[in-house]
Structure 1
Amino acid sequence: MTSEAAVTPDHGTTASGSSFYAAMRILPREQREAMFQIYSFCRQVDDIADSEGPRPERLGALQQWRDDIDALYRGHPPPRLSDYVASVGRFDLKREDFLAIIDGMEMDVPQDIRAPDLATLDLYCDRVASAVGRLSVRVFGLPEEDGILLAHHLGRALQLTNILRDIDEDAAIGRLYLPRESLLLAGITSDDPLKVVADRALPKACPSLVARARAHFEKADEVMRRNRRRAVRAPRIMSKYYRAILELLVARGFAGPRTPVRVSKMAKTAILLRYALI
């Protein structure tokens, strides 16, 4: 699953090696602990959705997480969520955002997502990315209205960047997140992931998604510019890091063979120095 929100870890990495870790380590202890709890929750439900187990078993495991979240908010947390009690109370984390994340992960389970229409893609991004952002901005201490707005735009920007970055990786496991409208615009009518990624017209399907991601990055920047620097340090680092990934993808192009893109260590360090320390 290409699920990476304002705080969700790099797909296929551990916390200690991710951009998430670099952004979160600058936070005060209580905020950092809450963010790693959110991280852990996202990682665990993501792993269920991405596992190779039978689909009914995965659906059952996700339902158990829903039951556990409900128990947490009823005051009877199961052992795996006992450490969350303090963070939920301290930062007023919302039950519906945890549940939305589970709903988003579940969208891949009954059957793999393949060429969703734009409305379905946006719903997916809201659940697996912006819902994580809505939990995160409460931890960061942003005002309610701007926090929700930042989560909306930055979550979608990061998720769309991931979709563009992971086209081949997702196709290898039978998934295709590029929207149907973009594919049809490029003259691609198939929704078979392996056929689509091998189609020479694929590069024509990507610019509209790039434009959409850039627009969300710009809107997120507007929100961050009008808020306290300390409150937006972590999301700003994530934003700059993923904007760099997006621009590397554009510079590389989307014609095959598509080599992976990575932000250099020097560029990562420059982002951290500018937005975390200065």
Structure 2
Amino acid sequence: MSATASPIAGETAEAPALPAAGSSFYTAMRLLPKERREAMYAVYAFCRSVDDVADDGGAREVRAAELDRWRADIDALYAGHPPPRVKPLEEPMRRFGLKREDFQAVIDGMAMDAEEDIVAPSEAKLDLYCDRVASAVGRLSVRIFGMPEADGIRLAWHQGRALQLTNILRDIDEDATRGRLYLPMEKFHKIGLMTPTPQSALAHPRLGEVCAAVAAEAEEHYRQTWAIIQRSPRQATKAARLMAAAYRLYLDAVVKRGWAAPRARVKPGKLSLLLVALRHGIF
């Protein structure tokens, strides 16, 4: 999954598509009661569909038009006459109080990728992007999980950014092949690279300083995530705990690997992921 995708992106049809067996998201969602799990699969399907439009939906004007159709479909859902492809969201919307603006925010985030190849965005633009493609998904998720409202929104804010920054660091080379660079402009200015391109940024001898600074921000978001999880009802945070712990393995792995080229693709070992699943899925 590239950095452009939200942490739970999936694929839709009239019935919700399922995430890949063995993925962190699949394992986390299996911890939920049936009605909450099915609601998350419906949200997953929606996210995957709009992400596919943003990344692989053809010419930019075609992608923009299709995302506009998704916006209209979400509006129709909340007006009480959902088209078939958003019909699976109807029951979760009613049962768990899912917010129209969060679905629209996810679409707006995907539109940021569809409109242009993002290259070294400002800190503010990167934060907006993370909020739309990750924290907005989190806001939908915490309502399904049954989190208390205030701490649920805080959890979505921090965990969404933690996961998305981890994606960005993990996928810098993959994103560069698409002409994208999500590391923020201000951090490149600090190392003297004033107009970075994906190629010049990844070849820069001080790239590690930029990545380390982003990793430190991700680590702080993980710290805040765990502080919220630890004071929240355990049953409502099982899935969030597993996702946070699994994604932290990826962050630790890229930091340990370092930033010098060639950068091998990192993936935590199966045993490490199994231990995370056992610890946070059972205990």
**TM-score under structure 1 normalisation?**
0.96
Residue number in structure 2 paired with 1:148:
153
What's the counterpart of residue 3 of structure 2?
2
Aligned partner (choices 199, 204, 209) of residue 204 of structure 1: 209
Task: Give the drift of 1:198.
Answer: 1.9
Report the residue type matching 2:3 in the other structure: T
Q: 3-state DSSP class of the match of 2:209?
A: helix
| 1:52 to 1:33, Cα distance in 2 relative to 1, 3 A | closer
Q: Which amino acid aligns with 1:32?
A: R
Whether the 8 Å CA contact 2:5–2:51 is kept in 1: the answer is no
Q: Deviations over 1:78-113 (max 9, x none)?
A: 011112211110000000000000000101122111
Residues 154-165 of structure 1: pairs in structure 2 closer than 5 A: 154-165=159-170
Give the whole-Å Cα distance in 2 for the aligned partners of 1:36 and 1:14. Answer: 8
Number of residue pairs matched? 275
Note the alpha carbon deviations across 1:7-27, whole angstroms, 9 max, x for none. 446xxx953242110110111
Residues 125 and 155, structure 1, Cα contact 8 Å, conserved in 2: yes
Matched residue SS, 1:238: helix
**Which deviations, in whole Å up to 9, do the C-alpha atoms of 1:45-92 show, x marking residues without a partner?**
000000161100000000000000000000000011112211110000
Cross-structure match for 2:58: 53
Query: Which consecutive residues of structure 1, in runs of 5 or more, have no partner in the other structure?
Result: none
- C-alpha change, 1:91 and 1:6, in structure 2 (3 Å) is farther
- Identify the residue that residue 116 of structure 1 maps to in structure 2: 121
Paired amino acid for 1:136: S
Give the counterpart of 1:44 among 20, 35, 49.
49
Structure 1 pair 14/135, CA: closer, same or farther in 2 (3 Å)? closer
- Equivalent residue for 1:133? 138
Over the residues paired in the alignment, what is the CA RMSD in angstroms? 1.4
Q: Describe the SS at the equivalent of 1:16.
A: coil
1:270 matched to 2:275? The reply is: yes
* 1:189 Cα deviation from its structure 2 partner: 2.4
Deviation at 1:194, TM superposition (A): 1.9
Letter in 2 for 1:271: V
1:71 to 76, 80, 101: 76
Instruction: State the alpha-carbon separation in 2 of the partners of residues 6 and 50 from structure 1.
Output: 15
Change (3 A) 1:47 1:40: same
Q: 1:144 to 1:30 in 2, by over 3 A?
A: same
In 2, Cα distance between the equivalents of 1:176 and 1:232?
A: 32
Q: Contact 2:8/2:47 (CA < 8 Å) preserved in 1?
A: no
The residue type equivalent to 1:2 in the other structure is: A
Which residue in 2 is equivalent to 1:104? 109
Measure, in 2, the Cα distance between the counterparts of 1:52 and 1:90: 32
Aligned residue for 1:107, secondary structure, equals helix
- The counterpart of 2:244, out of the listed 229, 233, 239, is 239
What TM-score, normalized by structure 2, do the two folds share?
Answer: 0.94
Query: Which runs of at least 4 in structure 1 moved beyond 6 Å after TM superposition?
Result: none
Q: 1:259 aligns with which of 239, 242, 264?
A: 264
104-113 or 15-24, larger mean C-alpha shift: 15-24
- Give the % identical residues: 52
Equivalent position amino acid for 1:58 in 2: R
Deviation at 1:119, TM superposition (A): 0.5
Matches of 2:170 and 2:7, distance apart in 1: 16
Contact preservation (8 Å) 1:167, 1:176: yes
Q: CA deviation at 1:205?
A: 1.1
In the aligned structure 2, how far is the partner of 1:169 from the partner of 1:248?
17
